[in-house]
Amino acid sequence: MKKRSILYALVMSSISIMAQQKQITTNTGTPVGDNQNSKTIGQNGQVLLEDIHLIEKLASFDRERIPERVVHARGTGAYGEFIASGDFSGYTRASLFEKGKKTPVFVRFSTVVHGTGSPETLRDPRGFATKFYTDQGNYDLVGNNLPVFFIRDAIKFPDMVHAFKPSPVTNKQDASRVFDFFSNIPEGTHMLTRVYSDYGIPANYRQMDGSGVHAFKWVNDGGEVTYVKYTWKSLQGVKNLTAAEATEMQGKDFQHATVDLYENIKMEKYPSWELYVQLLKPSDFDKSDINPLDPTKVWPESMIPLQLVGKMTLNRVPDNFFQEVEQSAFSPGTLVPGIEPSEDKLLQGRLFSYFDTQRYRIGANFQQLPINASKVAVVSNNQDGAFSTKKGNGDINYEPSASKNGFIDNENYQYSKSSFVNTTTVQQKISKPNDFKQAGEFYRSLNEKEKQNLISNLSGDLKGVANKDVVKKMVGYFYMADADYGKRLAKELGLSREDVEKMFLR
C-alpha cells in the first residue's frame, strides 16, 4: 500500500508540473500535437514528407551553426558599464567621454587563430573587443591584449592567417609554415617577441590588459584632429602562464578562462579595467623615429603619456551564449561622431573586412540582432534582405524628399578634412619602418626568468622548422632587435654567427 501511495504521489506531481509547462509550437506558433513520433504510413511504415513539424525541426537543427569566425572563433563575453572620468571635449565630440557619463557595454574576449572548440591555454594573442551602446549610436573598440600586431598592411592579412592556420595538405599547424612567412616579414619581429614571451598566454581574461592597437582620430567641435591610441589596464593586475603551467591547466580545464570570468561575475567579484589614451597632434609626427600610424609599434609613454579616460566594470553574463556571444559582431568601422579611422594601412583594410565577414557569417541584417542593435533609433533607407525586422518609412525609402516623412542629413557631422599636396598614388612601404628597435626594447624590459622562457618558447618552435635557412634568417631578425637575444637563440639552436650572417650577405 505504501509503494502505491508513493507512486500515486509521483504521478500527481508529474501531472502538476506538466500543467505548468508551456505548449510546444512550430516556429510559426502553431501548437504541436506529438513531439515524440513522426507521421508514418501505419505504425511501421515510411515517414511522410507532409509532417511539417518534423521537416521544420530537422531543417532548423541543420542550420544551428553559423559559419565559424575565420579568426577570433574561440571566445566568451559579458555585459557591464563604462563610466567616463575625464573631460576630453577639447579633443573629441564623442559623448561617451563626457565626464561622469555612464555607458552600457558588451565585451567579447577571444583567442585569435584557433577554432571554436580549441583550448583557451594556447599561445595566441587574445582579442579584447568592446561595444559601447552610446547615446550617439554604437561604438566598437576592437583590439587585442598585446599593443602591437604582426603586419602593417591589410594586403598581407590573409597570407598571415593562412600561415598560422593548419596546412591545407596535413590539416596540422606547422611552425615551418609560420616562420617561412615571417622570415620575409621583418616588421613581425616585435609582435613575435611579445607572443613568445609569457604574455602570449594570459592566465585568464580578467588579468590581462587590452589595446586598440591602431591609432585613431579624435575630432572636436571645431574640426581639429588629434591622433589617439587606447590602452585598457586591468585592475586585477596582469598574470600570465608559462608553457608548463599552460599545459598543466589544459589538462584540468581547457576552457578555464571562460569559467574564471563567469564564476567571478556570478560571485559579484566584478572585473574592472581603466581606459587610458595617448594623444598626439599631427604636427608632432616627425618628432619620433617611428611612423606613429605603424601598428607594429607602441607610442613610448615617456614621450606620449597615458591619460585616464574612465573605468569599465563587467557585471553580467549572457543569458544565451549563442545569441549574445556567437552572434555579437564587431568592427573598427563602427564609430560615433568625434572618432574617425586614421590612415593606418592595416586599419583601413579592417574597415572593410570586419563588416564584410559579419555580413557573410551572420547575414545582411546582423546589426538588427539585439546584441548588435543600437540603443538609439536607427533612421535610414537601407531595407530588406534576410531577417530584416526594421520598420519601414511608408512610401518614402529614398533621400532627399520634400515629404514630411523624409530624412535629412546634418553638416555638423561631416567627416574631418584631409589635405594632400603634390602627391601620387603608390604601392610602397611606410616611411621609418624601424622594424627591430621596439622588439629589442621589449626584450630588455623582461626579467631574466622571462627572457629564459622567451628563448625556450621561441627556440622550441624554431627547432621544428624544416628549412634551416628560414631559421637562420629569423635568428638574424632577433639579433638585430638585441644582440643578447640573438646570441641566446643561436646558441640554443646550434648556429654560429657566420651561419646567420650568410643569410644577409647573399
DSSP H helices, 168-309, are 175-182, 189-195, 243-252, 256-266
Q: Give the DSSP H/E element, type plus range, for residue 377.
A: none
Give the active site residue among 53, 114, 144, 256.
144
Q: For the chain, how far is it from start to end, CA to CA, in angstroms? A: 97
Main-chain dihedrals φ then ψ at residue 458, nearest 5 degrees: -70, -45
The residues with which 210 forms a beta bridge, in sequence order, are: 232
- Would strands 210-211 and 75-84 be described as parallel, antiparallel, or unpaired? unpaired
* Largest CA-CA distance found in the chain, in angstroms, rounded: 101
Closest CA to 416 of 226, 207, 211, 267: 226
Here the cell at position 316 is 553580467
Q: Are 342 and 332 in contact (CB under 8 A)?
A: no
Quote the CA–CA distance of 399 and 421 in Å, as a whole number: 34
Closest CA to 440 of 415, 470, 477: 477
Q: Are 439 and 478 in contact (CB under 8 A)?
A: yes
DSSP H helices, 304-436, are 321, 345-361
Q: Per DSSP, which regions of 65-224 are E strands?
A: 75-84, 102-111, 126-134, 137-144, 210-211, 216-219
Main-chain dihedrals φ then ψ at residue 31, nearest 5 degrees: -60, 140
Quote the CA–CA distance of 189 and 326 in Å, as a whole number: 32
Return the HEC string of 286-306.
HHCCCCCCCCCCCCCCCCCCC
Quote the CA–CA distance of 302 and 291 in Å, as a whole number: 17
Give the active site residue among 72, 190, 214, 256.
72
Quote the CA–CA distance of 368 and 354 in Å, as a whole number: 16
Quote the CA–CA distance of 324 and 319 in Å, as a whole number: 8
The answer to whether residue 144 is catalytic is yes
Here the cell at position 187 is 616588421
Residue type, 167: S
Q: Helix, strand, or coil here: 98?
A: coil
Q: Are 311 and 448 in contact (CB under 8 A)?
A: no
Closest CA to 458 of 194, 232, 251, 214: 194
Buried (b) or exposed (e) across 358-387, using 16+ Cβ within 10 A?
Answer: beebbbebbbbbebbeeeeeeeeeeeeeee
User: Among all residues, which ones are annotated catalytic?
Assistant: 72, 144
